[in-house]
Structure 1
Amino acid sequence: MTTQQRKIVLAITACYTLMILYFMLLAFGRTGTVDREAGYTFLFFPLDFFRLPSLSDLLLHPTVMDLVGIGNVAAFIPFGLLIPLLYRISFIRFIALFILSILAIETIQALTMLGSFDLNDVIQNSIGAAIGFGAYKIGFRTTSVRRNIVVTGISVVILLGGVWGSFGIFNKAYVQELGPFVALSELKDSSGNPAMGAKPYSFKVGGQDVEPKHNVYSAGGNNVETYTYSLGNNELYLYFNYGIPDQENLRGSLSISVDGQEYLSVSATDERQEPEISSLYVEQAKELTITIEGNEKVWDVGFREMKYSWNW
């Protein structure tokens, strides 16, 4: 590399570094939120660094978090290309210094309340830098600048695609996702008997037509009715709708408990005159108890269990 080329690369590196620092410390209205922060935020457990969106999701239904995840990797690829161009450095030394630098910036973000210290970001940023370094090692092997740039660009795409695919495999293998919806009426109660609860039928709540798809639970002819089901000690999300049908007295209540702990308790005086749609997260659900009093109705009760892909 000639002296002139080195100066150009150095200028590009400096400008790009300043731009990254601006986005990490000052952009997105960070300075305007300092006074509203309650305190320092340190996230030391990497919850989702492997959760990169699929290509179809990114192209058809991109979300802010999808773009942030990809950006956290892609934005730091240039450092893996530029630093080795300026200095002869081994990968181990490069990635160690890079990680220390990112850790320092993340700490500054938290201590100045301009963001949070997130180990997830450190991992994603470092992966991006590692991809860039690998692409540099593959691409810059000749004296032809044009050829080196082309091969390096292709290498970046291939390495990024490989990491993306690896993360997808890891995600499928080791991360739990929501399983299919299971209606409560498909289960047996805690005594092993077929599930109770009326078959779906239509009614109105607050003038809105309600057409349950799976089940309807009510007190029936009793003042109070209790339904109990075994859920197998699983992590899950419980879904249900409830309300008091029109032309019936606004009298009743609903209680939902899991393993003796009450997760929901509502009465007719607390409810709006419209169907209520609710969901509950339960870390470990062994036994579900639904207690219905008066004219309250609960319908389309079911759950989606958190499962690994091999358990589906």
Structure 2
Amino acid sequence: MLKRRKLILTITLLYTLFILYFMFFAFGRSDSEADSYTFIFVPDNFLKLPNPLDFLHPTLMDMVSLGNMAAFIPFGILIPLLYSIKFIRFIILFIFSILVLETIQALTLLGSFDMGDVLKNSTGAVIGFAAYSIGIRAKNVRRSVISMGISMALLLIVTWGIGAGIDKAVAKNPGSFVALNEWENSSGVTSKKTKSLPFKIGGQEITPQFNVYDTNGKKSETYSYKFDDKEFYFYLQYGIPDQNDFEGSISVSVDGRQILSYSSEYQKHKPEIFEWYFEQADVLTITLEGNEKAWDVGYREMKHFWE
């Protein structure tokens, strides 16, 4: 019995050193040039793991994502084999230990503090503890090992599925396209734009589907639209029609920050497509000069499936 305990203790210590190596030194962490602490308190997903089809051509990040959970399953088996411990106490001590290690990672600039990793690590430990609790009831060691192995595989698959379902439920996706037909121009007047007659750019006939914006015969015109801090994908097409002199420019800015600036000097004789993701935007502004046109201007707001 004493020899068995020493063997389990040795395996636990060696495995712990193995995990610590990967947490602090693997993947070139010691060569990192990070110069600031990174603390991620709100994970961008629940238990985002690779899609099973991704393993046909796995990437390093796929393996890291799965490893963040699977690598901590053994602790849920080894610790209760060493000490008689209730689940609540086990998971509290485990989470506390992981929080300490994640904090050290961030403070030493050898990684980041990521609550997503804490969640995955802890879930792995829970799977291990549950597998141990099921396997320990077997009548002999062989059946116990087999039972633990099957339990781990099934619990990992179930957790994988639950995590994917939760991620899908809480994730935001682009909604339907909304054409921006009413903008406030530089004179403070709300201007409504609708489809116009087709025109050609580089010999290609353009038929706007939603709207067309231009300078209205002036040297330049500015249009602004208030989004009230929405999260969305913004779209527009632009170019200079063939029937006009090839001169003009377009610029797009959001909350005073320019995200697009193109003049005829750099544009080609063809229609261009612009797309931009805004995590949060209040006022978006488009400025057109010369013969530049913009059309099919609109956005897709990021929404949950229930919105």
Short-chain TM bin: 0.7 to 0.9
Q: Give the 3 Å change call, closer, same or farther, for CA 165–255 of structure 1 in structure 2.
A: same
Summarize the alignment of residues 46-195 of structure 1 with structure 2, pairs less than 5 Å apart.
Answer: 46-53=42-49, 55-56=51-52, 58-59=54-55, 64-173=60-169, 175-182=170-177, 184=179, 188-189=181-182, 195=193
Structure 2: distance between partners of 1:200 and 1:89? 75
Structure 2: distance between partners of 1:74 and 1:90? 22
Structure 1: distance between partners of 2:212 and 2:58? 38
What SS class does the counterpart of residue 29 from structure 1 fall into? helix
Q: Which amino acid aligns with 1:23?
A: F
Deviations 1:210-241 (A, max 9, x none): 97885573427623456566768742121234
Q: Which amino acid aligns with 2:157?
A: G
Structure 1: distance between partners of 2:110 and 2:95? 20
Does structure 2 conserve the Cα–Cα contact (< 8 Å) formed by 1:200 and 1:215? Answer: no
TM-score, structure 1 as length reference: 0.78
Q: Give the 3 Å change call, closer, same or farther, for CA 221–58 of structure 1 in structure 2.
A: same
Q: Which residue in the other structure is 1:222 paired with?
A: 217
What SS class does the counterpart of residue 157 from structure 2 fall into? helix
Query: How far off is 1:202 after superposition?
Result: 5.3
Q: Give the 3 Å change call, closer, same or farther, for CA 245–150 of structure 1 in structure 2.
A: farther
Q: Which residue in the other structure is 1:279 paired with?
A: 276
What SS class does the counterpart of residue 28 from structure 1 fall into? helix
Structure 2: distance between partners of 1:171 and 1:99? 22
CA RMSD of aligned residues (A): 3.6
Does structure 2 conserve the Cα–Cα contact (< 8 Å) formed by 1:49 and 1:121? Answer: no
User: Is 16-25 or 149-158 further displaced after alignment?
Assistant: 149-158
Out of 33, 37, 41, the position equivalent to 1:40 is: 37
Does structure 2 conserve the Cα–Cα contact (< 8 Å) formed by 1:176 and 1:306? Answer: no
List gaps (5 residues or longer) in structure 2.
Answer: 185-189
Summarize the alignment of residues 1-20 of structure 1 with structure 2, pairs less than 5 Å apart.
Answer: 2-20=1-19
Query: How far off is 1:255 after superposition?
Result: 4.0
Query: How far off is 1:263 after superposition?
Result: 4.9
Deviations 1:35-84 (A, max 9, x none): x22122222x2223414146355346756544433221111111111111
Does structure 2 conserve the Cα–Cα contact (< 8 Å) formed by 1:199 and 1:214? Answer: no
Structure 2: distance between partners of 1:268 and 1:193? 24
Q: Give the 3 Å change call, closer, same or farther, for CA 299–81 of structure 1 in structure 2.
A: farther
Out of 261, 264, 267, the position equivalent to 1:266 is: 261
Q: Which residue in the other structure is 1:196 paired with?
A: 194
TM-score, structure 2 as length reference: 0.79
Q: Give the 3 Å change call, closer, same or farther, for CA 79–96 of structure 1 in structure 2.
A: same
Query: How far off is 1:116 after superposition?
Result: 1.4
Does structure 1 conserve the Cα–Cα contact (< 8 Å) formed by 2:198 and 2:207? Answer: yes
User: Is 97-106 or 244-253 further displaced after alignment?
Assistant: 244-253
Query: How far off is 1:132 after superposition?
Result: 0.7
